[in-house]
Structure 1
């Protein structure tokens, strides 16, 4: 007990502060890159999933079934296990299995599959009548997707991406497993392992603030869109 108290009391914020800012930068880098790339790829995959469903714009039962199974296989895998399983592929693509870039690659892959299902689920409720009206006016399938389907589902999609941000932030917290750094690694290495709850809670509070800010912005944008 005395050892624990001593270690906790000896935290040196002059040393820890630069490491904290570095960790925040690494977390933001991982989250932003993952959301931009994985979010965009997931949007495309989600539209394809929706479009190839029976009775939809690009109906193709074989393509839909293959993609549906693939998404269902990847999504349930715990990310820490997915990191380990993806290691050979990460080395082939990135050239290393250690570091922030090596963490971002599997994060993008997981984010793509997670996003695709969120996108599909938020496109399904779109009123089929609106789509049929656009088709009857001679609009092409991809025109319907970009000018009718996605705009109609934009508010729930924004909220879905805010929810996705939380998931990606959770994934970034596991990046320390492969030397990716970030707030998760900071909390474990300098807080938990050194018996310093102040360090751990500093990282936790920063992550909570990030989530609150993103969720608040998303709620505000979605609210405005729903009022139109």
Structure 2
């Protein structure tokens, strides 16, 4: 019986880093003169491109392929019905972003508002530059609320992300958020700020299909709060980063 020794390779990584491409090179050196400085590496043996019916191999010292990332551009969201300015009421809608990346380290998706508060009077009977609807306030600052709740004397606007790659802060155990691995629809509410807030995260590439994230928006005016009539507008920016 004959045995064969086969070389093995793997991607080097730890909790704090991941090396996308590596090479076992023969040697390297630095050559300098009055007009140039050259850092060079002598590549591995058996280099080149090998192909077959079911494979392509780029062997040896190769130039790394930089990761690419795309983010979809959804349409504007318009709440389907008006909000009772005197009687109070609640409205909800969703916006969807899809991130597609071939980056070895995956991606992160962030959202932020352009103003504080996010939802401000744009036109109509309300005062432009004066009337606003407050950002949602969590019971414990920095931790999403499992159940949406505002005071009857308040009017607030908030969000919750939903999808396959939702950031751990927005996961739940059926009772509370920022714990366990559950992803329950219409739970874990948070308020927008003008700083980037991470809503989804993945450590692996998802090209070519991509991954969709739904951001559920909700606005409510309490029964003991008077919200001046008019059109209110929020500009929310989503940013996707390849890792």
TM norm structure 1: 0.24
**Which structure has greater helix proportion?**
1
TM norm structure 2: 0.23
**Bigger Rg over Cα:** 2
**Which structure has greater strand proportion?**
2
